[in-house]
Chains A and B, each alone.
Chain A
Amino acid sequence: MSQLLTNYYEAASVILFGIGFMNLLLQNNLIKKFIGLNIMDTATYLFLAAKGYVFGRIAPILTNGIIDAEYYINPIPAGLVLTGIVVSVSVTAFSLALVLRLYKHYGTLNMDEILRMVREEEGE
């Protein structure tokens, strides 16, 4: 249990991932589903960035001319997350565009309603 308190960033990211996943599964509203997807994204980024952090070291930008691996934190998670954040915004925009097309066709954002209408159209 004390380990969870020490690794509080990792524990929080797991909980946030769970909350986002629950949103994705249980929300009926499409917009809240996609907010849940965004929360899952940020939870993953938080986990990655927390693994790269080291106590007492500074951000990976050359300071005072010191070139020493013991002086800076790990730059790899920052690079991975930087690309991830910008991809997540394009995924959000694409999914919201799909939501707008669905709204245009079915006139609602409720997932159950849309599924019911699709079933009626397909005749099953």
Chain B
Amino acid sequence: MSENKSFWAKLKSWIDGDEVIINADEYISTRERKDKVIGENMLGEKHAPAEKLRANSTLYRVLSVGITVCFIVVMLGVVMDLPMFGDPGSITNNEVAARYLEKGIEETGAINFVAGMILDYRAFDTFGESNVLFMAVVAVLMLLQRDKKNVSAVEDKEMAEDEVFDGQDSKIILQKGAKVLAPIVILYGIYVVLNGHLSPGGGFSGGSIIGAGLILFSAANGHKKMQTFFTVKTLTKISVACLLTYCGCKSYSFFTGANHVGWEIPKGTPGDLLSSGFILPLNICVGLVVACTMYGFYALFTKGEI
């Protein structure tokens, strides 16, 4: 029982980010040994000679240039044997692409074949990719968030100076410009997301544009103002809700044999805004995840908190 409890204690400390010390005595002894070795190094006894390091470095440079040049020459040789650029009979234009183009409208209802492809035929690929984005923002959050273990006096001083600088009227051009531009940019992003199945764009591009608009707003009006409606909780809620919605929609398709049997989702008239089945909600989900991710990166890189 006691072992079990210690396991939970270890797990809890591991989740909290503490260093897990399995065997305290051994740990201390290794630390002492390292400290001693550093002391020896300070005396300059065990340093690798500088000449040896430099020779290694020269060899490394020559080798890397040689390997890269060999690679380029070999690949250029391969390019010479490739089919001609823009050749209709090229082997890449095979029956898969023809099938997507001929049956795409009938089966997905999307006018933009690329949107129909990545959000219907290959939707699981896109789902994994949205998860990659969410995981990336979580990883950056772990690395850069300012909490009680990740602070330094110098950074605090710089942050306080930045606060003073932000308070002055030094950003008047940026603020006036952002007042006009940020709503337009965000509106354009929403347009691109909503029309993803009708025109070029879709969740990824529209989400990036919305994220850029949020970054512009945050840069002009300060982080505090952004936090009144967008915090780390908002980001988590929106991202997780979107990913779950995506997962639910595509699980339904998957379990009904990828044909939406049972409850036939209306495809609508191709060309209408409300058409093409699941593609519009999936585009919105992907767009929201991408927008949250882009703004999350910006906020974490500037202030260390969302």
Contacts and interface: CB of A to CB of B under 8 A. Distances in A.
Contacts of B75: 14, 17-18
Contacts of B22: none
Interface of A (DSSP majority class): helix
Contacts of B225: none
Contacts of B38: 120-121, 123
Contact of B76 (A11, A82, A93, A104): A11
Given A14-B72, A60-B114, 4 more contacts: A10-B82, A14-B75, A26-B61, A97-B300
A75 B101 contact: yes
B277 interface: no
Most buried by A among B72, B85, B137, B294: B85
B259 to A, nearest CB: 21
Contacts, number: 172
Interface residues of B, number: 68
B133 A11 contact: no
Instruction: Choose among B98, B101, B105 the residue with the greatest number of A CB atoms under 10 Å from its CB.
Output: B101
B143 A21 contact: no
A8 interface: yes
B221 interface: no
B123 to A, nearest CB: 11
Question: Chain B at the A interface: mostly helix, strand, loop or mixed?
Answer: helix
Given A4-B79, A10-B79, A97-B144, A75 B64 contact: no
Contact of B68 (A25, A75, A87): A25
Contacts of B90: 51, 54
Given A69-B101, A123-B40, A104 B129 contact: no
Task: Please classify how large the interface on chain A is, using the bins under 10, 10 to 19, 20 to 34, 35 or more.
Answer: 35 or more
B101 A61 contact: no
B112 A97 contact: no
B261 interface: no
Interface string B82-98: 10111110101100111
Interface string A66-96: 0111111011111100110111011101101
A27 to B, nearest CB: 11
